[in-house]
Structure 1
Amino acid sequence: MSLALSVCTILIVLATVLPLWKNSHWTIRGLDFPRLQLAVLASALLFSQLYFFNFTAWHHWLLASSVLLCLLWQLWWILPYTRLWPYEVLSSENTNPERQLTIITANVLTPNRNADSLIQLVKQHKPDVLVTLESDLWWQQQLDCLETEMPFTIKCPLDNLYGMHVYSRLALTDSEIAYLVEDDVPSMHALLTLKCGNKVRMHFLHPAPPSPTENEQSIERDAELIIVARSIADTPQATIITGDLNDVAWSRTTRLFRKLSGLLDPRVGRGMFNTFHASYPFLRWPLDHLFHSQHFTLNQIQRLPSIGSDHFALMTTLSYTPSHGAEQNGLTPVKEDKELATEITQQQGVNKKSVPEPGK
């Protein structure tokens, strides 16, 4: 038993330490994802050590201490996405529907043919905006029935798992489809007009993930998030970014994105809202995101029931309350963050100038 516990300790330590390495290979960056699962395993391992070790040998103390440190490190990353943490985004006290905006973000999974489930969710919740990822021409044909109530659209049907569609009840202007880093991976950008007349800069993203079947490195994904973050960092406009970022909320890259952009995460202090993988409860993490500027406070955020995809849809309702929201603060970049961002974008030969700026 001592040997088995020693081997497990080595594995936990490796899984914890390797993400500290700035290598962008998917095998390293992928370890950012299961921090909750690693924390659970580290807890179980620590209890097993306390039960089986007699701690008369120095190496028992070393092994147990190593696991405890790993547990604390994993918790440092994920605790902000629990109810033990203070809210980053204030709960809205505004009930005026003219100032509210509800968005459903749904990765539909291209081969999934259960469009009726998503359409029923839209009819039930009546969002102002529906964003779909991985939607091809078949999905477009099914969802076009929504245009009677959601006439403002942006459409980019693709068969490569990176198709995107936006259906909106509210007016969209300055709409543009852009390929920011990779030629076959689109993003969408538009200016949305709220019912109260205020304008909101919208960015819809779905960068490719680091994986053995996509990009071996995370640098393409990271570069896209960085240049979008930099493009909105100094804008006074109300801004919302949503989509499947193929990255977890607590990763180094997503934290860098939040630091550079100044945007807020309404999940902090409320929960993880794990949207992937819908079929494996123990292997779930938050891949679908919505970030917003200080102009908004939160009415509600919830994960919706299954639509047959490997992702659950995410629904978020915000209130446009600039005076109230000004009290909110997110993450702040340091010199090392800016240097890392510059290094990544230079490697990819991209910059913020390629990011559309609707309404500017």
Structure 2
Amino acid sequence: MTLLILALATLLSVVTLLPLSGSHAWWVRMWDFPRVQIAIAHALVIALALWFLSGPWLWVTLVPMLAGLALHLWRIRPFTPLARREMRFAPHRDDGAEVLLLAANVLMQNERHDLVRKLVEEVDPDVLLLMETDRRWIENLKPVLDRYPRVLALPKDDCYGILFATRLETIEAEIDYLTSDETPSVWAELRTRSGRLFRFVGLHPQPPVPGVDTEQRDAQILYASRFARKSDVPLVTMGDFNDAAWSATSRLFQHYGRFLDPRIGRGLYASFHATNLLIRCAIDQFFVTDDIAVVDFRLGEYTGSDHFPVIARIRIDPDEARSLNRRPPPMTEEEREEIDARIAEYRAGLRRPKPQDAA
């Protein structure tokens, strides 16, 4: 039993320390995701050590396990009711300044098109973002897409197709590539029914899997945050980031773009994996700048995908938003220069796709 406990403690110490290295290697970054599960494993090893070990072996095990558990709990804590909330929800008022948004990774191989159609019909969002859409998905969703005067679609058979639809006045909307890989993003400038301008960014970068490191994913996420920092127009971004909410990249994205997260102080809202509780993690993200008030934020019902949909109602009212939201901490000049330099490394690879515009 002693050898088993020591082996488990060593393994947990390694997977805890690897993400701190800053490496982009997929086999390093993958350990950003299961922090909750790793924290539970730490607690179990601590219990086993207290029960079975004594003398030096007990302390050799307890010290790294307690330190690792503290690190994981520190990263997870903001996404629990123990943390102070960044945003207070605004009351619902049907005055034309509110926008209802729905983002869902439909899972390209998913055959339950009817469940996604039902979701869109019931939520009836003003802005719709769907990911992993191929031509079959777009054809099967046509009955609900016909409701929208503006639809942009880039069907792909590699799990990185994307679809954007809105009934709001559209100043500009396009599907673009932020990095040199094959994962497109959505950019749009829209007006609420009351005439208030805001911007929307939809992202779906690649996850860290064998053969795919995270340089491109991190660049895509950070480049989107730069878009927010360069503008004084309210901005909302959502999508399947394929990155844990507590990862270094997500935290840097939030800090650099001065974004707020309604999950802080409320809960994980873990959206993936929809059918496997053991590996569930918060990788579908929703961030807004501090001049946007959030009225509601929740996960949708199961649609046959491995992701739960993300549903949010926002209010474009900077005065009300600033009375409800905490001001993000300012960046230092050193931080800004470092991130600008990091983003500049990837700009040369940007390309334009040829989306299907159904407007």
Corresponding residue of 2:79 = 81
Query: C-alpha displacement at 1:334, in angstroms?
Result: 4.6
Query: C-alpha displacement at 1:151, in angstroms?
Result: 2.1
Which whole-Å CA distance do the structure 2 matches of 1:346 and 1:194 have between them? 33
Corresponding residue of 1:242 = 238
Q: Mark the CA change 1:183 to 1:75 in structure 2 (over 3 Å): closer, same or farther.
A: closer
Map 1:49-64 onto structure 2 (within 5 A): 49-54=49-54, 57-64=55-62
Match 1:222 to one of 211, 218, 221: 218
Corresponding residue of 2:136 = 138
**Matched AA of 2:16:** T
Which whole-Å CA distance do the structure 2 matches of 1:141 and 1:116 have between them? 12
Where do 5+ consecutive residues of structure 2 fail to align? Answer: 353-359
Map 1:120-131 onto structure 2 (within 5 A): 120-131=118-129
Q: Mark the CA change 1:285 to 1:170 in structure 2 (over 3 Å): closer, same or farther.
A: same
Provide the secondary structure at the position in 1 that maps to 2:260.
coil
Query: C-alpha displacement at 1:210, in angstroms?
Result: 2.0
Query: C-alpha displacement at 1:177, in angstroms?
Result: 1.6
- Out of 130-139 and 149-158, give the one that drifted further: 149-158
Query: C-alpha displacement at 1:97, in angstroms?
Result: 4.6
Corresponding residue of 1:309 = 305
Q: Mark the CA change 1:351 to 1:292 in structure 2 (over 3 Å): closer, same or farther.
A: farther
Query: C-alpha displacement at 1:127, in angstroms?
Result: 1.7
The size of the alignment, in residue pairs, is 350
* C-alpha contact 1:256 1:333 (8 A) present in aligned 2: no
* C-alpha contact 1:219 1:344 (8 A) present in aligned 2: no
Provide the secondary structure at the position in 2 that maps to 1:282.
helix
Provide the secondary structure at the position in 2 that maps to 1:98.
coil
* C-alpha contact 1:24 1:219 (8 A) present in aligned 2: yes
- Out of 187-196 and 95-104, give the one that drifted further: 95-104
| 1:178 partnered with 2:196 | no
Q: Per-residue CA shift, 1:37-86, capped at 9, x if unaligned?
A: 111111111122222233xx233123112111100100111111111111
Which whole-Å CA distance do the structure 2 matches of 1:350 and 1:333 have between them? 26
**Matched AA of 2:36:** L
Q: Per-residue CA shift, 1:120-141, capped at 9, x if unaligned?
A: 1121222211110010111111
Q: Mark the CA change 1:82 to 1:174 in structure 2 (over 3 Å): closer, same or farther.
A: same
Where do 5+ consecutive residues of structure 1 fail to align? Answer: 355-360
TM-score (norm 2): 0.91
| 1:7 partnered with 2:7 | yes
**Matched AA of 2:297:** I
Provide the secondary structure at the position in 2 that maps to 1:20.
helix
Query: C-alpha displacement at 1:348, in angstroms?
Result: 3.0
Q: Mark the CA change 1:230 to 1:63 in structure 2 (over 3 Å): closer, same or farther.
A: same
| 1:275 partnered with 2:243 | no
Q: Mark the CA change 1:139 to 1:229 in structure 2 (over 3 Å): closer, same or farther.
A: same
Map 1:86-101 onto structure 2 (within 5 A): 86-101=84-99
Which whole-Å CA distance do the structure 2 matches of 1:116 and 1:169 have between them? 22
Q: Mark the CA change 1:121 to 1:44 in structure 2 (over 3 Å): closer, same or farther.
A: same
Which whole-Å CA distance do the structure 2 matches of 1:160 and 1:353 have between them? 18
* C-alpha contact 2:179 2:349 (8 A) present in aligned 1: no
* C-alpha contact 2:268 2:282 (8 A) present in aligned 1: yes
* C-alpha contact 1:231 1:352 (8 A) present in aligned 2: no
Which whole-Å CA distance do the structure 2 matches of 1:194 and 1:240 have between them? 13
* C-alpha contact 2:259 2:328 (8 A) present in aligned 1: yes
Corresponding residue of 2:260 = 264
Q: Mark the CA change 1:143 to 1:97 in structure 2 (over 3 Å): closer, same or farther.
A: farther
Cα root mean square deviation, aligned: 2.1
Provide the secondary structure at the position in 1 that maps to 2:339.
helix
Which whole-Å CA distance do the structure 2 matches of 1:336 and 1:8 have between them? 40
Provide the secondary structure at the position in 2 that maps to 1:197.
coil
Q: Mark the CA change 1:17 to 1:336 in structure 2 (over 3 Å): closer, same or farther.
A: farther
* C-alpha contact 1:238 1:293 (8 A) present in aligned 2: yes
